[in-house]
Amino acid sequence: MIASLTGSIEYVGLDRLILRVGGVGLLVHTTPATAAAARAGTEAALATSLVVREDSLTIFGFDTPAEREMFETLQSVSGVGPRLALAMLAVMGPEELRTALASGDTRSLTKIPGIGAKSAERLVLELRDKVGRLPGATAPAATSPRPAAGDWREPVTEALVGLGWNAKQAEGAVDKVAAAEPPAEGEIAAYLRLALRELRR
């Protein structure tokens, strides 16, 4: 198991980055917020989880060990794979997920693309007792680049589509955030959180 990686960031995408470690460029899948906080050319330390399949080895990276632990715990439920677990963390974050699971808040869980009422009930049933034992410490995320006004719309829309919403839903949420007149120099991750909040109303 590869539990953590530290290296230089070579490339940053919407939901992935390439981290050069010991002369090897490793593709690491992340949440959009983690990717938005990364800058090419800087050093990064990520808590990681290696998912082994018959035809692939895939690395998922997180800002904190708490996120990694939640990612792995979610996958202990039948029907929840790494992509869905990553989407759940992107939409809610580890602490909010923990609270929803512990309190049986299935309504919040069904706001995540790919989670229906039955899936939400199964998640609560199987994880309600487990999530209380997960590490709860969180570290502040790195500061992401501050885009000029309007530059945030396209990457945020693409990130929402990547998480499972359709283009119309994503564009609608972005339009609502823009109409609310957020700070012109806000971070992309902040705009993404505002858009996710709109989609969960």
Q: Is the pLDDT of residue 1 over 80?
A: no
CATH of the domain at 14: 2.40.50.140
The pTM of this model reads: 0.73
Which range marks the domain in which residue 31 is found?
4-62
- Is the sign of the CA dihedral 188, 140, 134, 49 positive or negative? positive
CATH of the domain at 176: 1.10.8.10
Question: When comparing pLDDT for 185 and 128, which is higher?
Answer: 128
- The dihedrals phi and psi of 55, each to the nearest 5 degrees, come to -115, 10
Residue 198 C-beta-side C-alpha neighbours within 13 Å: 22
pLDDT of residue 150: 54
Q: What is the pLDDT of residues 99-121, one digit of tens each?
A: 999 999 999 999 888 899 999 99
CA gap 35, 29 in Å, rounded: 9
Residues 128 and 159 in one domain: no
On whether the CB atoms of residues 32 and 162 are closer than 8 A, the answer is yes
Q: What is the pLDDT of residues 158-169, one digit of tens each?
A: 888 877 788 888
Which of the four pLDDT bands, split at 50, 70 and 90, describes residue 185?
Answer: low
Residues 49 and 75 in one domain: no
Residue that the structure tokens 């069904």 belong to: 110
In a domain, residue 178? The reply is yes
